[in-house]
Amino acid sequence: MNWPFTSAGSVTETYAFGLLRNMLEIPSASYHERDLAGYLVGAMADLGFRAHIDEVGNVIGVIERGDGPTVMLLGHMDTVPGVLPVRPLDGRLYGRGAVDAKGPLAAIICAAAGAVDFRGRLVVVGVVEEETPCSRGAMAIRTGRERPDALIIGEPSGWSSVVLGYKGKLDLRYTVRCPATHPSNVAPKASELAVACWETLVELLGSEAGHGVFNQPGATLCKLNADLTTATADLSIRIPPGFDVDALVGALRGRLPVGDLEVLNSVAACRVGRADAVVRALTTGIRRLHAQPRLVVKTATSDMNTLAEVWDIPMATYGPGESSLDHSDHEHIMLSDYKRGIDVLTTAIAELALLPVQAAQPEGSQ
């Protein structure tokens, strides 16, 4: 193995690039993260972490560097299905997960390992199943570990941008069955009722609804299986802060003449302010590299939503990579941006060492 550290204590570029490439070479679609988890436990141990895999498959690595705050950095190991050939080309590294979100996770690992100026406890987590409706990995972290003093979520923001928040998400399933009848019968058919359910949802959300605006809900008809007698429609609504989920579900149920409307998953929107300590730390890192930070909100959802529901602490989302390439067949990360992301995170971690210790400390080695 190449020596991973420079004389100044930071992770070498060679090691950082090799770590990311090795991660991309290991397929890790949701529910199949075990091989990547095993690799990361070894890699993190080489970098000085005390690392293990928890009961749901998350990788957890801890570095303690004296008294001080606990900072958690959390990214996800899983990707959407589909394998892309891993190859470097013209300063880019291609592969499934290069952007979403192995690039940000690798940057987090390298930054934490090289943050020699930080005094406190660093907890780096690679979670499972972020790309699934229930985010089982993040749910296990929020229920099974004490809250940290600050949290950085690793998702692609672009190396010079910080994400302040995300829309929430409401997943519904409408199921209806009707007696068999001739197509020309005037009685409503299951397929027609499912379509009517979708149209009613769109009507209830209003004409201003859409996915392009953070402060408005936006609906998607994700799946429709239907014939004359049976139909199932999966509906997903991205919801802004303060959205009344119960009122929408109640109104939609009240407009459905027959059938069953099930809430599959619901997670609230989240947003922090510009003065948030993690936001300030990340923007300091960006300015150190002579760029003007951009502060953005996202209309998608991440594990930040899941953790913000129960942890009222400084937090923000950051990571190298352009989110427009998420899940695409051209997914790649600029290696120069990946390196800048590590540098930004290293600075941010050092800045967060100044935080007061308010949260209970996590348990020790598990």
Give counts: helices (H), strands (E), the chain.
9, 16
326 is catalytic: no
Predicted local confidence at residue 365, as pLDDT: 38
Residue 113 to residue 63: CA distance in whole angstroms:
8
Residue 274 to residue 57: CA distance in whole angstroms:
34
Q: Which of these is catalytic: 33, 54, 100, 130?
A: 130
Token reading at 223 = 């799946």
Residue 225 to residue 304: CA distance in whole angstroms:
32
Question: Which domains does the chain show, CATH number per domain?
Answer: 13-166+270-352 (3.40.630.10), 169-267 (3.30.70.360)
Q: For residue 332, give the 3-state DSSP assignment.
A: strand
What is the edge-to-edge ordering of all strands in the sheet holding 92-94? 87-89, 92-94, 332-334
Predicted local confidence at residue 7, as pLDDT: 83
Q: Which residues in the chain land under pLDDT 50?
A: 359-366
Residue 338 to residue 172: CA distance in whole angstroms:
37
Predicted local confidence at residue 2, as pLDDT: 67
DSSP strand E in the chain: where?
50-53, 59-64, 70-76, 87-89, 92-94, 121-127, 150-154, 161-166, 168-177, 218-226, 230-239, 260-267, 270-271, 294-298, 315-318, 332-334
Q: Which of these is catalytic: 78, 131, 234, 303?
A: 78
Predicted local confidence at residue 364, as pLDDT: 41
Give the DSSP letter of residue 101: T
130 is catalytic: yes
Predicted local confidence at residue 134, as pLDDT: 86
Predicted local confidence at residue 133, as pLDDT: 83
> What is the value of pTM for the model shown?
0.91
Predicted local confidence at residue 358, as pLDDT: 73
Predicted local confidence at residue 77, as pLDDT: 98
Give the DSSP letter of residue 236: E
